[in-house]
């Protein structure tokens, strides 16, 4: 499209933002209509373009002379079309100002909806699982990104190794061995889109090997059910005791693979005992099966050094998954999966066919972030903030709900709070909290069916705190207490 004369030599800002965009191509069939019907066809095509949103309100149209020349029709046809649609309200014009799509036109252009999970519009929300996204290290991340773009070889922008960039797998192997006690062979590390994709990959491979069901902790993460179901694998709930997954029910279940969160069980908050870890691995060897370890927040322990990963005890029986979702941001969709050698080729091939590999720019950026110590600094920053918030929550519960107890180890991003019977029954407590604008979830919401999450008079809550400032934590607990007293 040539520059519009009424636009003083500038390119007309069409719906596509440049001349010759698809918004004008739709007029070409109308311009080819029989001469007697050509004027009406042009008017109809232009009218429909505005209605459908192909020409958005405020879009400046080319001059009648330019558009006529481009379409190969007489200028009179374009002038007549402009005048007719201006009279109908679809267009507006002014002397010397050109012709524009009218601002009053209700565009039928579809708008994308945002289906991302968002916190409810509550005065205080204690839903577990969300980190403080304000702690994301924007300045350090941006500086790292500039460095990567300056140094990244051109060939690294091609299709990557489906396992991930060697640079990142090497950096992660060192990081995980140092921080989590993992036996980390870079050749068996896959870079994945978070633990969700790691879970699905394992599900597909296990299903292809004839596995019909896997065991899951009860209570446990509700996401495991849906992720394995997507791979054609059902889940069998296995109860917990004070030391971790109960081995006797596990043996009775008949499954040969089980998903666990041994460093900080979700949601109960316990750490698997050394005895239970050994029993779990003995079971896996006895059934020629696998343990699938979800190390979702293993870096965050506040009263002592974190418990090392189960994978370090038997890397041939344990598949290990982790991510940056709790330490940086879940929106990065960046995680890792370490697999036993016997599963490695199948998981790698499944990853290849699923998406041809993780985005290379993101991988190179995170590799540099780890290599330069920025990730360690971020983990320390989060640990300080989350420890303060957990302490604040425990103190606020003691002040406003005397006699309440907090169970589980001092770790992670949530606690289990059990309130005295006088604050129950639980259903009534939750209703009053909701009326006061406080969002909380009971432990019962995480049960798969076999778990004992308390009697009808108990109030057992899963309280997430990482995403809340100390002031908001205190205010939220106070609101709950006031709601109960009311």
The domain boundary, picked from 373, 407, 438, lies at 373
What does R_g of the chain's alpha carbons equal in angstroms? 30
The answer to whether the beta carbons of residues 407 and 240 sit under 8 Å apart is no
Residue 351: name the closest of 203, 450, 245, 155 by CA. Answer: 203
Give the domain CATH number at 83.
1.10.10.10
Is 114 within the bounds of a domain? Answer: no
Q: Report which DSSP code applies to 305.
A: P
Q: Are residues 404 and 363 in the same domain?
A: no
The answer to whether the beta carbons of residues 357 and 159 sit under 8 Å apart is yes
Q: Which residue has the tokens 């029954």?
A: 425
The domain boundary, picked from 320, 350, 373, lies at 373
3-state secondary structure of 415: strand
Which CA distances in Å does 184 have to 43, 199, 341, 376?
A: 67, 19, 12, 18
Q: Are residues 72 and 181 in the same domain?
A: no
Q: Are residues 164 and 50 in the same domain?
A: no
Each residue's pLDDT expressed in tens, for the chain with a length of 486 residues: 343 333 333 333 443 333 344 446 778 788 778 888 888 988 898 888 888 878 888 888 888 888 888 888 889 988 899 999 898 888 988 777 788 888 766 655 567 788 777 766 678 899 998 899 999 999 999 999 999 999 999 999 999 999 999 999 999 999 999 999 999 999 999 999 999 999 999 999 999 999 999 999 999 998 999 999 999 999 999 999 999 999 999 999 999 999 999 999 999 999 999 999 999 999 999 999 999 999 999 999 999 888 999 999 999 999 999 999 999 999 999 999 999 999 999 999 999 999 999 999 999 999 999 999 999 999 999 999 999 999 999 999 999 999 999 999 999 999 999 999 899 899 999 999 999 999 999 999 999 865 555 544 689 999 999 999 999 999 999 999 999 887
CB within 8 Å of 143: residues ≥ 6 apart: none
Tokens of 392: 């604040």
Is 111 within the bounds of a domain? Answer: no
The answer to whether the beta carbons of residues 461 and 417 sit under 8 Å apart is yes
Mapped to the 3 state alphabet, what secondary structure does 156-216 carry? HHCCCCCCCCHHHHHHHHHHHHHHHCCCCCHHHEEEECHHHHHHHHHHHHHHHCCCCEEEE
Is 113 within the bounds of a domain? Answer: no
What is d(CA 396, CA 477) in angstroms, rounded to the nearest whole number? 6
What does the pLDDT read at residue 203?
97
Q: Are residues 467 and 353 in the same domain?
A: no
For the chain, the domain total comes to: 3
Tokens of 226: 């849906």
Residue 385 host element (H or E): helix 374-400
The answer to whether the beta carbons of residues 441 and 217 sit under 8 Å apart is no
Give the domain CATH number at 174.
3.40.640.10
Mapped to the 3 state alphabet, what secondary structure does 21-74 carry? CHHHHCCHHHHCCCHHHHHHHHHHHHHHHHHCCCCCCCCECCCHHHHHHHHCCC
CB within 8 Å of 468: residues ≥ 6 apart: 124, 125, 126, 132, 389, 476
Distance between start and end Cα atoms, the chain: 69
Is 61 within the bounds of a domain? Answer: yes
Which residues sit opposite 464 in a β-bridge?
A: 414
The answer to whether the beta carbons of residues 192 and 198 sit under 8 Å apart is yes
Q: Are residues 285 and 387 in the same domain?
A: no
Tokens of 75: 């200028």
What is d(CA 186, CA 183) in angstroms, rounded to the nearest whole number? 10
What does the pLDDT read at residue 150?
96
Burial class of 223 by CB neighbour count within 10 A (0 to 12, 13 to 18, 19+):
middle
Under the phi-then-psi rule, with left for phi > 0, alpha for psi from -120 to 50, and beta for the rest, what region is 9?
Answer: left
How far is residue 389 CA from its own chain's centroid? 23
Is 119 within the bounds of a domain? Answer: no
Q: Are residues 194 and 66 in the same domain?
A: no
Dihedral pair phi/psi, residue 455, rounded to 5°: -75, 175
Is 449 within the bounds of a domain? Answer: yes
Q: Are residues 369 and 428 in the same domain?
A: no
What secondary structure does DSSP assign to 205-246, as a single string? HHHHTT--EEEEEES--THHHHHHHHTT-EEEEEEEETTEE-
The answer to whether the beta carbons of residues 72 and 31 sit under 8 Å apart is yes
Q: Report which DSSP code applies to 301.
A: B
Q: Are residues 244 and 367 in the same domain?
A: yes
Is 117 within the bounds of a domain? Answer: no
The answer to whether the beta carbons of residues 68 and 77 sit under 8 Å apart is yes
What does the pLDDT read at residue 5?
38
Q: Are residues 309 and 221 in the same domain?
A: yes
CA atoms within 13 A on the CB side of 361: 8
Domain span holding position 90: 5-101
The domain boundary, picked from 323, 348, 373, lies at 373
Give the domain CATH number at 386.
3.90.1150.10
Q: Are residues 339 and 481 in the same domain?
A: no
What does the pLDDT read at residue 403?
94
Q: Are residues 292 and 308 in the same domain?
A: yes
Is 390 within the bounds of a domain? Answer: yes
Q: Are residues 43 and 74 in the same domain?
A: yes
């Amino acid at each position: 499209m040539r520059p519009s004369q009424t636009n003083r030599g500038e390119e007309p800002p069409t719906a596509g933002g440049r001349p010759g965009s698809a918004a004008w191509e739709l007029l070409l069939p109308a311009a080819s209509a029989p001469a007697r019907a050509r004027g009406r066809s042009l008017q109809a095509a232009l009218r429909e373009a505005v209605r459908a949103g192909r020409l958005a309100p405020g879009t400046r149209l080319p001059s009648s002379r330019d558009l006529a020349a481009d379409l190969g029709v007489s200028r009179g046809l374009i002038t007549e079309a402009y005048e007719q649609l201006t009279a109908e309200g679809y267009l507006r014009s002014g002397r010397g100002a050109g012709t524009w799509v009218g601002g009053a036109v209700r565009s039928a252009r579809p708008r994308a909806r945002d289906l991302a999970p968002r916190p409810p519009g509550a005065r205080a929300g204690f839903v577990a699982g969300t980190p403080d996204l304000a702690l994301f290290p924007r300045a350090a991340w941006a500086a790292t990104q500039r460095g990567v773009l300056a140094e990244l070889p051109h060939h690294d922008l091609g299709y990557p190794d489906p396992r991930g960039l060697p640079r990142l797998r090497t950096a992660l192997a060192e990081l995980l061995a140092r921080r989590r006690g993992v036996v980390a062979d870079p050749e068996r590390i896959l870079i994945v889109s978070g633990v969700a994709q790691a879970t699905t990959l394992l599900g597909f491979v296990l299903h292809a090997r004839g596995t019909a069901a896997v065991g899951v902790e009860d209570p446990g993460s509700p996401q495991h059910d849906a992720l394995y179901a997507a791979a054609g694998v059902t889940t069998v709930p296995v109860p917990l005791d004070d030391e971790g997954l109960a081995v006797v029910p596990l043996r009775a279940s008949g499954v040969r693979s089980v998903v666990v969160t041994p460093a900080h069980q979700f949601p109960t908050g316990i750490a698997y005992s050394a005895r239970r870890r050994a029993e779990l691995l003995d079971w896996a060897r006895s059934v020629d099966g696998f343990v699938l370890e979800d190390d979702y927040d293993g870096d965050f322990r506040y009263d002592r050094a974190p418990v090392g990963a189960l994978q370090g005890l038997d890397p041939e029986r344990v598949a290990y998954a982790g991510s940056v979702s709790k330490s940086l941001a879940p929106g990065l969709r960046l995680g890792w999966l370490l697999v036993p050698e016997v599963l490695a080729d199948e998981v790698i091939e499944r990853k290849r066919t699923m998406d041809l590999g993780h985005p290379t720019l993101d991988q190179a950026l995170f590799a540099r972030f780890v290599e330069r110590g920025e990730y360690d600094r971020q983990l320390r920053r989060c640990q300080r903030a989350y420890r303060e918030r957990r302490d604040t929550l425990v103190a606020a519960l003691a002040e406003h709900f005397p006699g309440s107890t907090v169970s589980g180890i001092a770790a992670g991003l949530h606690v289990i709070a059990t309130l005295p019977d006088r604050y129950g029954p639980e259903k009534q407590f939750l209703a009053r909290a909701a009326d006061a604008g406080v969002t909380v979830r009971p432990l019962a919401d995480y049960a798969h069916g076999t778990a004992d999450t308390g009697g009808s008079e108990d109030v057992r809550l899963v309280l997430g705190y990482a995403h809340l400032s100390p002031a908001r934590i205190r205010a939220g607990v106070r609101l709950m207490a006031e709601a109960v007293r009311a």
